[in-house]
């Protein structure tokens, strides 16, 4: 995948590109981790119900009407606990 950063102004956008790069690297790390998990199946899948934050929404007052479930995978990688958001389709795996 090739992406050409568009920069309109000097130093500020360079800083942002650097932080983008870090995120990208982190994403790749997580992706690698996820690929390992597919083989070794370590870690715990958490199911979470989320509030959307709108006061008028039913989820604000009724916990059974929260949105989701959203799945999250927690595992340990080199001593750190890593959380990975999963799509509902990936959770059964």
DSSP labels for 25-87? HHHHHHHHHHHHHHHH--SEEEEEEE----TTSGGGT-GGG-EEEEEEEEEEETTEEEEEEE-
Stretch that binds Zn ion, among 13-21, 26-34, 47-55, 78-86 (CB under 5 A): 47-55
Query: Binding string, 3-42, against Zn ion, x = CB under 5 A?
Result: ----------------------------------------
Window 48 to 67, contacts with Zn ion (CB under 5 A): 52, 57, 59
| Contacts with Zn ion, residue ranges (CB under 5 A) | 52, 57, 59
């Amino acid at each position: 995948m090739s992406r050409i950063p568009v920069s309109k102004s000097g130093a500020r956008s360079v800083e942002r590109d650097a932080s983008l790069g870090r995120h990208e690297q982190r994403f790749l790390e997580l992706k690698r981790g996820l690929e390992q998990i597919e083989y070794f199946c370590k870690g715990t899948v958490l199911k979470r119900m989320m509030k959307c934050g709108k006061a008028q929404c039913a989820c604000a007052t009724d916990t059974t009407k929260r949105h989701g479930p959203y799945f999250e995978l927690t595992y340990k990688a080199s001593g750190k606990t890593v959380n990975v958001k999963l799509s509902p389709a990936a959770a059964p795996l």
